[in-house]
């Protein structure tokens, strides 16, 4: 079955790309494996230079690449430009810091010399999503490549042109052919890819269902696996928060990328002292958002990436409404061509609401009213997910103490949740396990190898 590229804002057909079968998959993985064997012998400064060139090329081609993202998955153009810029910063970070992050670490062993080395595993298979079609691939691939690995990736089927562009960019940067390899394979062949002796580790960014499937397959073949899955991030507003600032950040966090981000704020947990005022300001600002053409500078929110995603989101919203939630704004698909959904604010969300344990992947904000801070903490932690979280208060010490008790992979005080190359990124509970980025991320796909050297063999 071919991969189809379709503009989600206009529904215009953009292209068709044939998928490959089992023999072609094994051949592609074999080429990736041979490329990795040579690449692992390349000195770290040369690897860094190639990644630095990749970052420079990304910046030089920022605008056409951003247009490609907007055409293929509907991201507003300025956000697509920001995605490319972030990818360039990722390349520069690992080009500058990778050698030190991978440097052998001496161990204090009396009478002998011992150290820990970080050596490449081989080819890392990435099963990737569509919502950040460049960033998600490069987030795993750049540190993996710096560490001496190869990277083969299965991109989501609705962004095939972005996948091809990534492969081309790697070649332009001087990376060896096949070291970064795009695999146009259907879901049924992922199991074959994981089972292949040419694949040595696996990472997946996607849904909880995809994560469980990939983890089971990787476990069956005793291969290292990193899971970056969904989230239902709490955005906790305490009684002394600066509401004007907090509401502006709340709108940005929820509706960026049309709400299609695992680390977007999704549950707005409000204490009584500020709840009504927050909701009033929040609804006013959400109502001012403009949905429409991603290339129009005035557009705030683009379309959902696919029709089926919009239909599923609307089913979740209607189920929530039938379960007692109230739509303060939106609550329906937009009319006309394209897969647009009206920015929506649902109030009256409680633990009895059907959406309480779900992730809503789209422009839907859930208002959760609690009686006090302890109940706010309980609500924040009452979720199967544990990716990101944020707490908002003028009292930073108080907010930081609150943040330490949230069950999540990251917690931010008075700031939006984001992934940053300098910090480890990942979740707990049903949001997955393992970390990407920073020193922890680059070492995930290495053999953390102990070397013990007795200096006097005959003594």
Sign of torsion, CA 29 35 40 41?
A: positive
pLDDT of residue 253: 98
Tokens for 158, please give them.
């609705």
pLDDT at 459 over 90: no
Q: What is the mean pLDDT of residues 359-386?
A: 98
Phi, psi angle pair for 13, to nearest 5°: -80, 130
Helix axes 77-101, 62-73, angle to 10 degrees: 120
Tokens for 195, please give them.
């089972």
Q: What is the mean pLDDT of residues 315-334?
A: 98
Q: What is the mean pLDDT of residues 141-151?
A: 98
pLDDT tens sequence across 37-77: 999 999 999 999 999 999 999 999 999 999 999 999 999 99
Given the residues 91, 162, 258, 262, the one annotated as active site: 262
Task: With beta carbons less than 8 A apart as the criterion, state whether 400 and 102 touch.
Answer: no
pLDDT at 110 over 90: no
pLDDT at 457 over 90: no
The residues spanned by each domain of the chain are 3-229+431-450, 233-413
Cα 248 vs. chain centroid, distance in angstroms? 23
State the burial class of residue 449 (Cβ atoms within 10 Å of its Cβ: 0-12, 13-18, 19+): exposed
Asked if 228 is an active-site residue, the reply is yes
Q: What is the mean pLDDT of residues 405-415?
A: 98
pLDDT at 2 over 90: no
Which residues have C-beta within 8 Å of that of residue 43, sequence separation ≥ 6? none
CATH 3.30.920.30 for domain 3-229+431-450, yes or no, is no
pLDDT of residue 455: 80
pLDDT of residue 365: 98
Q: What is the mean pLDDT of residues 1-27?
A: 96
Tokens for 135, please give them.
């960033």
- Residues 235 and 417: their CA atoms lie apart, in Å, by 10
pLDDT tens sequence across 178-210: 999 999 999 999 999 999 999 999 999 999 999
pLDDT at 1 over 80: no
Phi, psi angle pair for 337, to nearest 5°: -70, 160
The confidence band for 143, taking pLDDT boundaries of 50, 70 and 90, is very high
pLDDT tens sequence across 375-390: 999 999 999 999 999 9
- Residues 100 and 178: their CA atoms lie apart, in Å, by 26
Looking at every residue in the chain, the average pLDDT score rounds to 97
pLDDT at 458 over 80: no
Given the residues 72, 92, 167, 228, the one annotated as active site: 228
State the burial class of residue 179 (Cβ atoms within 10 Å of its Cβ: 0-12, 13-18, 19+): buried
- Residues 217 and 183: their CA atoms lie apart, in Å, by 18
233-413 adopts what CATH topology?
A: Aldehyde Dehydrogenase; Chain A, domain 2 (3.40.309)
Percent of the residues in the chain that have a pLDDT greater than 70, as a whole number: 100
- Residues 409 and 357: their CA atoms lie apart, in Å, by 18
Task: With beta carbons less than 8 A apart as the criterion, state whether 314 and 333 touch.
Answer: yes
Asked if 262 is an active-site residue, the reply is yes
């Amino acid at each position: 079955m071919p991969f189809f590229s379709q503009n989600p804002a206009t529904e215009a057909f953009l292209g068709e790309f044939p998928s490959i079968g089992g023999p072609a998959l094994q051949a592609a993985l074999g080429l990736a494996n041979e490329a990795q064997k040579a690449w692992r012998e390349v000195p770290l400064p040369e690897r860094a230079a190639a990644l630095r060139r990749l970052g420079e090329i990304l910046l030089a081609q920022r605008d056409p690449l951003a247009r490609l993202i907007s055409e293929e998955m509907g991201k507003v153009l300025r956000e697509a430009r920001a995605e490319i810029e972030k990818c360039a910063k990722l390349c520069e970070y690992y080009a500058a810091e990778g050698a030190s992050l991978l440097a052998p670490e001496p161990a204090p062993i009396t009478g002998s010399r011992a150290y820990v080395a970080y050596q490449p595993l081989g080819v890392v298979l990435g099963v990737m999503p569509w919502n950040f079609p460049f960033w998600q691939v490069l987030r795993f691939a750049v540190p993996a490549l710096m560490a001496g690995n190869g990277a083969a990736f299965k991109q989501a089927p609705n962004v095939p042109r972005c996948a091809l562009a990534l492969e081309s960019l790697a070649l332009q940067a001087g990376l060896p052919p096949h070291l970064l390899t795009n695999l146009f394979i259907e879901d049924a062949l992922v199991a074959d890819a994981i089972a292949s002796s040419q694949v040595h580790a696996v990472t997946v960014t996607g849904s909880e269902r995809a994560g469980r499937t990939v983890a089971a397959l990787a476990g069956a073949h005793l291969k290292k696996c990193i899971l970056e899955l969904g989230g239902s991030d709490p955005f906790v507003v305490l009684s002394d928060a600066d509401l004007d600032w907090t509401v502006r950040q709340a709108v940005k966090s929820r509706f960026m990328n049309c709400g299609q981000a695992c680390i977007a704020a999704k549950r707005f947990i409000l204490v009584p002292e500020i709840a009504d005022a927050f909701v009033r300001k929040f609804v006013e600002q959400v109502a001012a958002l403009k949905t429409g053409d991603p290339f129009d500078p005035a557009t705030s929110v683009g379309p959902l990436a696919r029709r089926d995603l919009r239909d599923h989101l609307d089913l979740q919203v209607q189920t929530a409404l039938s379960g007692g939630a109230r739509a303060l704004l939106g609550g329906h698909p937009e009319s006309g061509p394209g897969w647009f959904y009206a920015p929506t604010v649902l109030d009256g969300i409680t633990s009895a609401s059907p959406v309480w344990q779900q992730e809503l992947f789209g422009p839907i904000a859930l208002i959760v009213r609690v009686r006090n801070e302890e109940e706010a903490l309980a609500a924040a932690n009452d979720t199967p997910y544990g990716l990101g979280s944020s707490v908002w208060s003028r009292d930073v010490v108080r907010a930081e103490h609150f943040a330490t008790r949230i069950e999540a992979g990251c917690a931010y005080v008075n700031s939006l949740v984001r992934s940053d190359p300098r910090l480890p990124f990942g979740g707990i509970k049903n949001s997955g396990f393992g970390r990407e980025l920073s020193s922890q991320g680059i070492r995930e796909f290495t053999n953390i190898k102990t070397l013990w050297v007795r200096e006097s063999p005959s003594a």
